[in-house]
Structure 1
């Protein structure tokens, strides 16, 4: 890829929680049995790598996340797919490939069945150009989390945004710096349910930088816990910044992105979002 940044990634501190402790005794539990399950792929150099985090028997997915490590800004997230009882994450090396060892981790935020829970999808038109698509929850339901997937991009399309809002999840994708003639589509996933007690969407945007790495870590308010994750990269050169983490923990969400190339060293920011509710 033209103008690839060769700097080494700074260390990313990641609290990889595998479960959530109950705090206090809320009057009404929104998501009883809340638990984070994470599973990592094998390491190595090779593409693609895919991994699935599976909820314990009887539990259902209420949120999804991912973490890419080991190949600084040379691997793109291709899939973050929530299903009824599991979350699948897939990474592709860009067209230059890499000899570095890397791996991908999937996070499934699981809970006892929530009444009315469903997953809604929206698929963009096919083509070879930037696009976005929005999955909307049915009337009366709210978005708890979401996901996105690229079909046909094969490492040359970046999921620039996957942002839950009150009743929708919007995904946006851009081709990387030198583009591709391949035909590809973008799918957005919204995990929907009736409004839950304590449901809020804390959001943090990093300060502008021309640097290699940005992080944004929205925290859930006291007495709530993270369900869903979200991110949005803001840059004059879409496709030049690779999101590498949107990882839920007991208290919030960590989002991280790395510069792949940024012509003119343009400033960029990263917005992270958590969907939180009463556990």
Structure 2
């Protein structure tokens, strides 16, 4: 895998109109345990029983880590981050897959994998789980061949909105560099967009997924665009006070930028408000990154 510029441990805090872009939060202890933490478990309503399921494991390159939702629940969104546990080498990590986990019964959790030069590689996977809302389904596209850095757009059926989504990229020295709700900047997205990069190929195969359901009043999707000459691009785009994160995504726009982190962050973890955490890096600057957070 290519050698990237050294990743700094934090980015400068930035204020935004619709939320707060806080500094990047890095690092997590390696564990094979599955944790389910209380998100906001209303007895009724569109996000009934919502919990955050998380699993962390030390794995090899391209080895998937999968977390399951509690019985009877489905993923409404999810994300992941990867690390080698050493700040000096944290810039040599790339997500290659982050998407809903499915079997013959349907979607049941979230799965992700990554690549890295140094080892051990640690991947943490998050699933935002609820009892299925009205109109729930997963739209899919398999093995589409696209130009590197070109988008694969998966669209929800007419009348439905995208709550989450993801994808996987295939190839040799590849990475996932975009996974976000679309159209870009829409307050009511009905698409999920993914893209990737392979340093040795002009084209690559990509799978795309959009988690769709009927519209829900009070759900907001916020976008923030950030450009920096620092070695790291990203941060935490926070929900408004008293709102809970239910999804999010990221798109990095540098020629060979890669996503290292794109995942939900709860107030209990951040010490502030819920939000969506993004971390990306690449060989050249400046870096451009769009952060997305969906809150309720």
Q: TM-score range by the shorter chain?
A: 0.7 to 0.9
Q: Distance in 1 between matches of 2:4 and 2:178?
A: 21
Q: Residues 245 and 129 from structure 1, CA distance in 2 versus in 1: closer, same or farther, beyond 3 angstroms?
A: closer
Q: Residues of 1 paired with 2:27 and 2:118: CA distance?
A: 27
Contact 1:78 1:150 (C-alpha < 8 Å) held by counterparts:
yes
Is 1:58–2:72 an aligned residue pair? yes
1:40 equivalent in structure 2: 56
TM-score (norm 2): 0.77
Matching residue of 1:13: 25
**1:140 matches 2:133:** no
**Deviation, structure 1 residue 13:** 2.0
Aligned to 1:63, what secondary structure does the other structure show? strand
Q: 1: distance between equivalents of 2:91 and 2:258?
A: 6
- Runs of 4 or more above 6 Å deviation: none
The reply to whether residue 114 of structure 1 matches residue 126 of structure 2 is: no
Q: Any conservation in 1 of the 2:146–2:205 contact (CA below 8 Å)?
A: yes
Whether 1:233 and 2:233 are equivalent positions in the alignment is: no
Residue of 185, 199, 202 corresponding to 2:222: 202
Q: What's 2:270 paired with?
A: none
Determine helix, strand or coil for the equivalent of 1:270: strand
Match of 1:249 in 2: 265
Q: When the two structures are aligned, how many residues end up with a matched partner?
A: 255
TM-score norm. by structure 1 comes to: 0.81
Residues 8 and 174 of structure 1: CA distance in aligned 2, closer, same or farther (over 3 Å): closer
Q: Which runs of 5+ in 2 are unaligned?
A: 11-23, 29-34, 102-106, 183-188, 267-273
Distance in 2 (CA, whole Å) between partners of 1:209 and 1:64 is 26
2:100 is the alignment partner of 1:82: yes
TM-aligned CA distance change 1:30 to 1:15, over 3 Å: farther
